[in-house]
Structures are given as C-alpha cells and as structure tokens.
Amino acid sequence: MCGIIGIYSHQPVAEDIYNSLIYLQHRGQDAAGIITCQQRFDVKHGLGLVQEIFNDRDVLAMQGNIGIGHTRYPTAGGNQLSDVQPIWLGSPRGIALAHNGNLTNYQALHRTLIHNQHRHLNTSTDSELLLHLLSDALHTTVDVHNDGAIFFSELCDAVQSVFNQAEGSYSVVSVVMGKGLLAFRDPHGIRPLVIGVREDPDGQKDYVLASETTMFYALGFRSMGDVKPGEVVFINQSGQLFRQLIQSKTFSPCIFEYVYFARPDSILDEVNVYRARMRMGENLARRWKEKYPDLLPDVVIPVPFTSNTAAMSFAHALGVRYSEGLYKNPFIGRTFIMSGGKKRSQQVRYKLTPQHIEIKNKKVLLLDDSIVRGTTSREIVTMMREFNAQSVYFASACPPLISPCLYGIDIPSSKELISANYTIDEMREHLNVDALLFQDEGDLVEAVTRKGNHQIKSPCMACMNGRYITGNIDQLKIKQLEENRQRCRGEVCVS
C-alpha cells in the first residue's frame, strides 16, 4: 500500500510534491521520499510521516520543474532507509521511479537480475526490480537523441517490455532525466492512477499523476480522469502530453480501495469513493433487515473513521440513530507499526474511547469497514460490554476476507485471517456479539459499480474469493509469497 505522485510544472515542483504527499499520507505512513530533477536528481528520503521527514529548507533546496514522490506502507521489501522510494539509476541518462503495487514474480526476476545479469540490488523491494526492467528496456528501445512522437513510441516499446516481464500490480511514475515525466499502469489496472491538469494565466499547462485525486483541488488541478489499465502517459520537457494504450487485459481494479484504503473524497476509475461507501451501508442494511427483522439497534456506531460513511447510510436505512459512540484520538499515529495480537488490542484502547452515554443499556450495532484478524472488533466489543451495552451487534461493510492480498494491500496470510479459520457462528462467539453480518460479495460489487461512468466489470476481490486475476498463482506460490512476507515482517525484510 503506497501513494505515488508525479508533477510536471512550469515552476519549481518540490513544494507541490511535498503538499501532495501530505494528501497521500493515508496510503503509507512508514516512509516517504521526493526526487526532483533539473541537471541532476535532488533526493530526500526518510522514515516516518511526511511532516517528520521534510522541513522547509529541504523542500526549498530541491531544484527542478519535474518531480516524483512516494509515501510507503511496505507490503514487499524491508523497511530500511535504503528501501524508501523514489529510487533512481544513472543509466540511461538518469531514471527515477516510484511504484505502488506488488510484483508476484519477484523471486524469478530477482534471480535473473542477480545471477544472469550480475546486478547489485540495493534494496529488497520489487520496485527496484521494476526500475531495472525499465532501465534495461530503455537501453534497448530508446534513442535518447530522439524527441516528440518518435521518442514516445520508443518509450511505449520499453514499457511493453516491462509489461511482458512483470507480473502482479504496478502503477508507476518515473522521470527520465532531460526527457520528461513518464507514468504507466499495469494491464489489469489493479492499483489506481489518476491524471490532472492546471493552466497558468499564460495558458501553459502543468500535469499531475497520482494515486488519488485528493490533492487536485488544493493544488489547482482539474481531473482528466484515470490512466487506463495498460496505458502509457508521457509529458516531455516542453510540456507536450502523449498518451497511448499499449496493452489491456480484464479491467480489475482492487475493490478494497473503495472499502478501506482510498480517501472518501477521491474519485477512482470514475467511481466516487464516498458514494460507493454510502451504497455499501445501504446494501448492508437491506440484508440486515432480511436476516434480523426483529433486531433493531438503538444506535449504529461506526469504528472511526473509515466506516463512518457506510454507518451513516446504514443507520439512515434502518431509521435509527447514527452515533459517535467511539471517539478516535486523532493524535495516536501509526497503530499498525506494532505487531502481534496483544499489542494490537492494546492499541485499540489507546486509539478509541467509548462514550458511556451512547452505550449504557443500549442495543448497539457496531459497523466496521472490514474485519481482518478480528483483534480490533473483539476488543471493541469487550469495551461495549464494559460500558454495559444491553446487546452488541456487529456488521462489516466488507465480505469475509479469506485470502492474502498479493497485489499490494496488507492483508496477511490466511492463517491470520479470522474469516479463513472460523465459520460465521464461530466468529460470532469469538467476537462475543449477539448478531454478526458480513456484506455479501455481489452487494459490494453492486455498491461500487451502481453509479458513475466507469468501465469496471470485474474488480479484483482475491482477498475475498481467492481468485487471483493475474494468473500464475497457485497454492504453492501463495505459500511462498506468504512466507516471504512473513520473513519481511519478522522485521527482517517486506512496496
């Protein structure tokens, strides 16, 4: 899970990139970096939150009108300073890259680069492999003396070569020194990538490419929609925009972006995330009424903040009160850096404080966007019981999560996923709730796809149904990738 940003501007770009990273902070809170480009790359990386890493002096010192940035929550590779993106190579010309996604053939590509090509890889991230693949392909296909449409066509050949080799998910922004800003999205379009434009009073155009639209309004950009699956976008040094669809497969954007990951003010693949969450709550309420016609809660309490939107429409559909019965401390920071069940459950208590008056003697329905390991839900239910709720019901806006995400969301090994190991009745008992309801898979798809001028037919829901859309994924591969991820987390290694 990561946030990426690339900007081509007629002004120095570092400040805009910095501000954009603040708007992408929710996509990765472990590390961040910026690379800007003039005659050389100016680079600043750090571990932690964006505001902890950069100060005014750093940002003002970074030169150049083209730049890229990254916020990182590792799902592949380690979490050392050397793993922080964007990363760069000196050849051809100088090329820098930031990536959101996960390659599923990391091991095979890694072996080839190390053993056949005798490369040194400085990180344990799949993003570095992508950079090498792109750099190699540029060497082969591009004449750096070319410009305009010819150069762009050569660039497309280079990206095609990356598509031929990389398996998994990848949305990428990249700078080719002295040439321009490049971006591409994998042929299934698993991870999001949007494009925007702004015009200065002289009619000159700046462009932004980003994981989400969140920073567009503040920075004065207007949306031009999405980079399409399998599309290459390039803005050359003189500001000409080139776009070409070079390969597309079944369009399968990750549905979990809508459930949990993206900010609600984003529009991804022509679907408004906020409205999709409203529809998730509405659909879930319909099922609740069908399944539990006699269980009407007094209050619906969201587990803040992601589930607020779905809880609001759920409460509205049931005709009961939406209640902020759990107050979230906004200064608690990154709870998920603490691994292990006990610490996670402790963190829930630091993070969330129940409001006595909203709970005591009430039939409380808790609504969360998802139940992953079950640790959070179990702890919150205990808190509701401690505050003397009369009954506690639980509803999840997401269907049961039964398989790990191999495409860049931190949904862990099936061993850790509560829904992969318990039946619904067992979960109800384990969580100690009086009634439990998960979103239906079809209802979730309906909620995401009901409105908007989108092309989504079959979103990626591998974490919910085990169908990995990129192919070449069998049980052995899942096991290998899970083990690798586990090693990385074992605070050994983990884009």
Residue 374, interface with ligand AMP (CB under 6 A)?
Answer: yes
- Cross-strand bridge partners of residue 181: 175, 235
Going 204 to 208 to 213 to 217, the CA torsion angle's sign is: negative
Closest CA to 277 of 437, 451, 408: 451
Closest contact distance (angstroms) between CB of 355 and ligand AMP is 18
Distance separating alpha carbons of residues 319 and 338, to the nearest angstrom: 38
DSSP 85: S
Distance separating alpha carbons of residues 294 and 316, to the nearest angstrom: 17
> Which of 354, 374 has the CB closer to ligand AMP?
374
Counting Cα atoms < 13 Å in the Cβ hemisphere of 113 gives 24
DSSP 81: G
Distance separating alpha carbons of residues 384 and 202, to the nearest angstrom: 59
Residue 411, interface with ligand AMP (CB under 6 A)?
Answer: yes
> Which of 303, 318 has the CB closer to ligand AMP?
303
Sites for ligand AMP among residues 70-109 (CB under 6 A): none
254 noted as active-site residue: no
With CB under 6 A as the contact rule, the residue among 321, 360, 373, 430 that binds ligand AMP is 373
- Per CB under 6 A, the segment of 40-48, 214-222, 372-380, 442-450 that binds ligand AMP is 372-380
- Per CB under 6 A, the segment of 14-22, 99-107, 407-415, 478-486 that binds ligand AMP is 407-415
With CB under 6 A as the contact rule, the residue among 269, 369, 443, 482 that binds ligand AMP is 369
> Which of 30, 128 has the CB closer to ligand AMP?
30
- Per CB under 6 A, the segment of 185-193, 221-229, 240-248, 364-372 that binds ligand AMP is 364-372
Residue 368, interface with ligand AMP (CB under 6 A)?
Answer: yes
433 contacts 393 by C-beta, under 8 angstroms:
yes
Distance separating alpha carbons of residues 342 and 21, to the nearest angstrom: 32
Residue 297, interface with ligand AMP (CB under 6 A)?
Answer: no
Element (H, E) at 280: helix 273-291
Residue 268 is which amino acid?
A: L
Residue 30, interface with ligand AMP (CB under 6 A)?
Answer: no
Question: How many C-beta atoms surround the C-beta of residue 197 within 10 A?
Answer: 17
Residue 375, interface with ligand AMP (CB under 6 A)?
Answer: yes
With CB under 6 A as the contact rule, the residue among 8, 18, 260, 407 that binds ligand AMP is 260
Residue 318, interface with ligand AMP (CB under 6 A)?
Answer: no
Residues 6+ apart with CB under 8 A from 335: 344, 347, 348, 350, 351
With CB under 6 A as the contact rule, the residue among 359, 364, 409, 447 that binds ligand AMP is 409
Closest contact distance (angstroms) between CB of 307 and ligand AMP is 7
Residue 377, interface with ligand AMP (CB under 6 A)?
Answer: yes
Counting Cα atoms < 13 Å in the Cβ hemisphere of 353 gives 8
Q: What are the tokens at 17?
A: 């990139």
Residue 394, interface with ligand AMP (CB under 6 A)?
Answer: no
Residue 254, interface with ligand AMP (CB under 6 A)?
Answer: no
Q: Which residues are catalytic?
A: 2
Which residues here bind ligand AMP, judged by CB under 6 A?
260, 303, 306, 336, 368-377, 409-411
